[in-house]
Amino acid sequence: MSSTPVVAVLHAENVPDEAAMAPVADHAEIRYTDADGLATALDGAETLFVYDFLSDALPAAWHAAGSLRWVHVAAAGVDPILFPELRDSDVTVTNSRGVFDRPIAEYVLAQILSFAKDLPGSLRLQHGHTWRHRDSERIEGRRVLIVGTGPIGRAIARLLTAVGMDVRGSGRRARTDDPDFGTVTTDLPGALADADFVVAAAPLTEQTHGMFDAAAFRSMKPGARFVNVGRGDLVRTEDLISALGSGQIAGAAVDVVDVEPLPPEHPLWDAPNIVITPHNSGDFVGWRETLVDLFSDNFRRWRAGRPLHNVVDKKLGYVPGP
């Protein structure tokens, strides 16, 4: 590593806050770049901070990354950058695991409560100046299946358990003594059949791509609701639209979709009983600065030769649990 390391920062419209980046700028040459200039910025750079965490520009610029040793992604999901050449290289990848766990859990609870209390229906009646008494559902004792048992899934499990919901997990390894889920199953169809609410919080991998398809939705209860805070490509969107349209499931809230931003003419907008948010379930006030602070802390560790936080297993596609 050179005495003055070069850090390339890939951004889109939003550029990292200058004050937050000061701890890095004091000890490195920083090259800010958008996707078009990434190859030039990578020439001689040892570190890449992927602040534009949805960008897929790195594969095309990889030819210029001969000095690259470390890539840090300003997100929990790293699927946009895990192309074969990076997977097979010696470059270390880290992510921003931990920043969004609790905010996303709060989002999931909010959507579950919105379904149970029919807040969209109340708003529609209000807009029509209509006073109509209706009963609502209780969430206490209702069963929730959380698909994905990583940190975000665990934060969701803890919060939903705290409000009295019956939480189960679906993951890669079955167990009955999990501290957050109690029971974790590998039998996804069977678990879907028992759930009142299904929360998708899994990372996007070859194994999870399209896992929520027509067969999965057929396995769910007709009255079940589906919440996706994982990745859009976990879901076959046309199958979700069909499941909502036929009444196979009672509703869905999706914060991520397989095409982002969702085009105005996309049929998902008009699917019945759906709530769509623009990939902001974890975006609390100050989240951008928090992401930069995490990178700055890891950069200090990098310069000191200390182990980095949140090292991704590039074969698995996420940071392994304990």
DSSP class of residue 112 equals: H
Per-residue CA distances from 171 to 64, 76, 149, 175 (Å): 38, 18, 6, 9
The two three-digit tokens of residue 50, written as one number: 């992927």
The two three-digit tokens of residue 150, written as one number: 């990583």
- The neighbour count for residue 307, using CB atoms within 10 Å, is 9
Question: Cα(304)–Cα(69) distance, rounded to whole angstroms?
Answer: 15
Catalytic site residues? 231, 260, 279
Q: Which residues contact 269 (CB under 8 A, 6 or more apart)?
A: 262, 276
At what angle are helices 101-117 and 119-127 packed, to 10 degrees?
A: 60
Looking at residue 22, its amino acid is A
Q: How do beta strands 175-178 and 182-185 pair?
A: antiparallel
Which is nearest to 40 in space by CA: 12, 60, 15, 20? 60
Q: Which residues contact 177 (CB under 8 A, 6 or more apart)?
A: none
Which is nearest to 199 in space by CA: 136, 252, 142? 252
* Helices marked H in 96-248: 101-117, 119-127, 151-162, 188-194, 214-219, 237-246
